[in-house]
Amino acid sequence: MKICVLDGYAANPGDLSWEAMAELGECIVYDRTSPDEIPERAAGCEIVLTNKTVLTASHMEALPTLKYIGVLATGYNVVDIEAARSRGIVVTNIPAYSTHSVAQMVFAHLLNITQRVGHYAEENAQGRWSRQVDFCYWDTPLMELAGKRMGIIGLGNTGMATARLALAFGMEVWAYTSKPQDKLPQGIVTASLDDIFSGCDVVSLHCPLTEDTRELVNAGRLEKMKSSAILINTGRGPLVHEADLAEALNAGQIAAAGLDVLVQEPPQADNPLLKAHNCFITPHIAWATREARTRLMDIAVQNVKSFLNGTPVNNVASTDC
C-alpha cells in the first residue's frame, strides 16, 4: 500500500512522528505540494493525505490507483467530494480533535482584550513600571468577565466547550442553536441572532461556513452591537465581512475583535483588519497545540486502518452523508 502525504508540515513541522502511518504502508511525506506537483508525487498511490492542498476532479482522474483521501483537518472543502464519490474514492476527515484547544483560544483572545497582559508585560520590560510614581498603572480599559453575557453562534463541539468555559468564568451564556432549550446544559439560554448581537457583551462564532452563514457578521449586525462589545472568531474567516468589521472597529462602533481566521490565509498585506483599531489577530493557530495535533495524527492513522480493514469511519464522501 503506497501512501503520500502532500503537505505534512502544517500538522507536523517535526515535533511529532509519522512512524505509525509508515507502519501501514510505503509512506512518503512532503512538507508542501503545489497543484501541478500532485500527479507526479501521488502517482501509483492508493492513499493520499492532505491538509490544505486542493484535490480536484482532474487530479483524481490523473491518479487511477487512488482509493482513499484523508483530510488532515475537520473541514474538507479542499476535496471535490462529488468527484471522489463518483469514482468510489473514500474521503475522511478528522472531527473534534481540537475542541478544547479552540475553546481555549477563544478565551486567550478574550482575556488578552480584557486584561492586555502582553501589552503590560512589554511595557514593563521597557521600564515603564519602574518609572511610575504610584504602585500601579493602567492605560487600557480592564473588564471583569463575571456577570457579562456571552453570545455563542453555533453550539457544536467547540461552541459547547466555549459555553462551559464562559459559565466557569461566571458569564451568562446565550446561544444561537438548533438544539432545543430542554436539551441544553443548565445556564445556557437559546436566543435569536438579533438578540445575541444586540444584547451580548461578547459574541463568539462557532457555526459552519455555509451560504446562509457567509458574512453573517456584516455592517447591519455590527450596528446592533453594544459599543463595549467584543467579537471573537475562531471558526471560519468568511463568516465575517472584513471591511465592515474594520470600519466598525475604527469608528468605535464595537470595542474590539479577536480573530484567529481570515477570509484569505495568509492575508494580503492591505487587509484592513491588520491595522484596524483594537483588532487582535492570530495566524490560524487555535487548532495547533501539540495535544490537538497529536490527536489529529492518531485519528488520521485510525482512519486509514479502518479503511484498510474495510470499515471506513469519518467518511464524508459516503452516499449516506
* Predicted local distance difference test score (pLDDT) of residue 319: 62
The CA distance from 209 to 214, in Å, is 6
Q: What stretches of the chain show up as alpha helix (H) in DSSP?
A: 19-22, 38-41, 57-61, 81-86, 99-115, 117-125, 157-168, 193-199, 219-224, 242-250, 290-308
* Predicted local distance difference test score (pLDDT) of residue 2: 97
How many other C-beta atoms lie within 10 A of the C-beta of residue 127?
A: 9
* Predicted local distance difference test score (pLDDT) of residue 321: 43
Active site residues: 236, 265, 284
> Low-confidence residues of the chain, pLDDT below 50?
321
- DSSP states along 29-68: E-S---GGGHHHHTTT-SEEEESS--B-HHHHHT-TT--E
What is the architecture, at CATH level 2, of domain 2-96+290-308? 3-Layer(aba) Sandwich (3.40)
Q: What pTM value is reported for the model?
A: 0.93
| Beta bridge partners of residue 172, listed in sequence order | 149
What CATH number matches the domain at 99-281, 3.40.50.720, 3.30.230.10, 3.40.1440.10, 2.160.10.10?
A: 3.40.50.720
User: Which of 144, 140, 183, 138 lies closest to 160, judged by CA?
Assistant: 183
Give CATH 3.40.50.720 domain extents, the chain: 2-96+290-308, 99-281
The CA distance from 309 to 304, in Å, is 9
* Predicted local distance difference test score (pLDDT) of residue 318: 79
